[in-house]
Amino acid sequence: MEERVEATLDLTDCKYLGELHQRIKESLDFPEHYGANWSAFWDSLRFDTPVEYVRIVGESTMPEDLKKHLDKMHEILDRCKAQRASWGLYFGYEIVD
């Protein structure tokens, strides 16, 4: 049995939206051309990363004005999970705070 490809997305003390996307890109091994927006996140998550499981840490340390972006990120992660399941593939994530 193959082990799942896992990644940790550490958002501890992330202060800006651009920094959030940079951490996403690095943690999930997105391509250099990653567009650093939520549409690009959706596309890269579905097609450009081998990651099957994401552990997210440090969300509670982020400023309140970034919380709406976390909601969007969670929504996209949920959509990816549902879509991969419909393809017979696994994808999961957990928020560890």
With a CB cutoff of 8 Å and minimum separation 6, the contacts of 29 are: 7, 49, 50, 51
User: What global pTM score does this model have?
Assistant: 0.93
As a whole-number percent, the residues of the chain with pLDDT over 70 amount to: 98
pLDDT tens digits for range 34-54: 999 999 999 999 988 999 999
pLDDT tens digits for range 57-66: 999 999 999 9
CA 55 to each of CA 35, 87, 93: distance values in angstroms, whole numbers, following the listed order: 22, 22, 6
- Residue 69, token pair as written in the block: 């972006």
Name the residue with tokens 């003390």.
13
pLDDT of residue 3: 86
pLDDT-based confidence at residue 1 (cuts at 50, 70, 90): low
> Radius of gyration of the chain from Cα atoms?
13
